[in-house]
Amino acid sequence: MSLNIEEILDFACKTAKAAGECTLKYFKKNVEIISKSDNSPVTIADREAELLMRKMIQEKFPDHGILGEEFERHNKDAEVQWILDPIDGTVGFIHGIPLYTNLIGITVKNEPVIGVINAPCLNEMVYAAKGKGAFLNGNKTTVRKTTELKNASLMTSDVQYFNEYGYKNSFEELLKKVKTHRTWGDAYGHLMVASGRADVMLDPVLNIWDAAALLPVINEAGGSFTDLTGNSRIDGGNGFSCPPELKQELLDIFSKHN
């Protein structure tokens, strides 16, 4: 199959933007909250945005596969797979926090090659394709050149997960070593790393639709995205983004306690 990666990337950006505009219709509108089987929340905005993305993709690329958070998998044996998270940060969305994102990751023969992180409330989009660099709203972007954790800013999301998944001691040591830390991260924290505004974004739990967009974006921004054992993958169940100079120091902390 002959693929035009730049054409697919351009369409992925348009699709993420459309999904973002869809979610904005429901933002701060007191929408109904539904609990899924894993007790995570979902809203009409999540489902409507994913349906819109699926419709656009199937009309443009009918031979491609789709794996989304909210609905059944489509064409799972296709060489090209679109991996969708219609709202990353649904809890923040529900509470009116404007840092939620729409995520699109694309794999070709199981290799992550395209990533899009769209923050519709902030009108910020970071996107990348393998070998093409990473861009923030059309301008090339890179990670910050921070070489030691003592000078680093750390972002994360739900701190309770560090204890729940057995990383409590590692997280406490990390907090002592970094210069500053903030929460409400989700994928926006990874966007912050890719755009040079934060140094580390750490997620103790990630689904594949959370991670698929992150690896291409961070790598093309000159950074490192791996799971907590150092493997560069989107199905590791957790992950962190950082400048490459910080990677080993972070891995050492997590290997020591786990």
The DSSP secondary-structure symbol of 151 reads: G
Are residues 106 and 83 in contact, defined by beta-carbon separation less than 8 angstroms?
Answer: yes
Are residues 123 and 155 in contact, defined by beta-carbon separation less than 8 angstroms?
Answer: no
Digit-coded pLDDT (tens) for 113-134 = 999 999 999 999 999 999 999 9
Domains observed in the chain? 5-140 (3.30.540.10), 149-257 (3.40.190.80)
Residue type, position 96, single letter: G
Digit-coded pLDDT (tens) for 51-82 = 999 999 999 999 999 999 999 999 999 999 99
Residue type, position 93, single letter: F
Rounded distance between C-alpha atoms, residue 17 and residue 11, angstroms:
10
Full-model pTM = 0.95
Task: Please report, for residues 53, 66, 79, the alpha-carbon distance to residue 82 in angstroms, rounded to integers and kept in the order given.
Answer: 10, 5, 10
Give the position of tokens 């929340």.
41
Report CA torsion sign: 244, 248, 253, 254. positive
For residue 8, pLDDT beyond 70: yes
Please compute the mean of the pLDDT values over residues 28-32 and round it to a whole number.
86
For residue 37, pLDDT beyond 70: no
Digit-coded pLDDT (tens) for 195-212 = 999 999 999 999 999 999
Rounded distance between C-alpha atoms, residue 216 and residue 105, angstroms:
8
Please compute the mean of the pLDDT values over residues 232-250 and round it to a whole number.
97
Q: Looking at the chain, which runs of residues are DSSP E strands? A: 34-35, 41-42, 65-68, 80-88, 101-108, 111-119, 124-129, 133-136, 139-140, 153-156, 180-182, 200-203, 224-226, 239-242
Q: What does the pLDDT read at residue 1?
A: 59
